């Protein structure tokens, strides 16, 4: 883009938090040339089933709610937004019963 006033090449400038094209003569191309910077929010969706067969899951001294077995695998998932507390899942080592617990 060139300056309609003096014909120089317009340079991107940061004016008042906005990115505009400006010229050394003082001309500013505002409005339609504003560069919009969008922050993409990547939504992470993790499914419970992906974790269920993970052999690296830590084992906790936690009694199974179904059979009473004292050892359960556990993992945490950030289910909704980052502001919310993660949900903890448990899976019985013995009967494979899986349940979740909210903090």
Q: Which of residues 68-97 bind Zn ion (CB under 5 A)?
A: 69, 92, 94-95, 97
Using the minimum distance from each CB to Zn ion, give the nearer residue, 30 or 84.
Answer: 30
Long-range contacts of residues 69-77, Cβ cutoff 8 Å, at least 24 apart: 69/93, 69/94, 69/95, 75/51, 77/46, 77/48, 77/51
Which of residues 25, 46, 59, 85 is near Zn ion by CB under 5 A? 25
**Minimum distance of Zn ion from residue 80's CB (angstroms):** 28
- Candidate residues 22, 64, 75, 98; the one interacting with Zn ion per rule CB under 5 A: 64
Q: Answer for the pair 19, 13: CB distance below 8 angstroms, yes or no.
A: yes
SS3 assignment for 4-23: CCCCCECEEEEECCEEEEEC
Contact positions toward Zn ion, by CB under 5 A? 3, 5-6, 8, 23, 25, 27, 64, 66-67, 69, 92, 94-95, 97
């Amino acid at each position: 883009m060139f300056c309609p006033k003096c014909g120089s090449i317009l340079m991107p400038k940061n004016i008042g938090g906005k990115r505009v094209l400006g010229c050394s003569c003082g001309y500013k191309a505002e409005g339609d040339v504003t560069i919009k910077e969008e922050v993409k929010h990547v939504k992470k969706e993790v499914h419970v089933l992906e974790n269920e067969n993970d052999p690296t899951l830590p084992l906790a001294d936690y009694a199974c709610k179904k059979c009473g077995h004292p050892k359960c695998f556990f993992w945490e998932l950030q289910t909704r937004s980052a502001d919310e507390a993660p949900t903890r899942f448990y899976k019985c080592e013995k009967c494979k019963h899986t349940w979740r617990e909210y903090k």
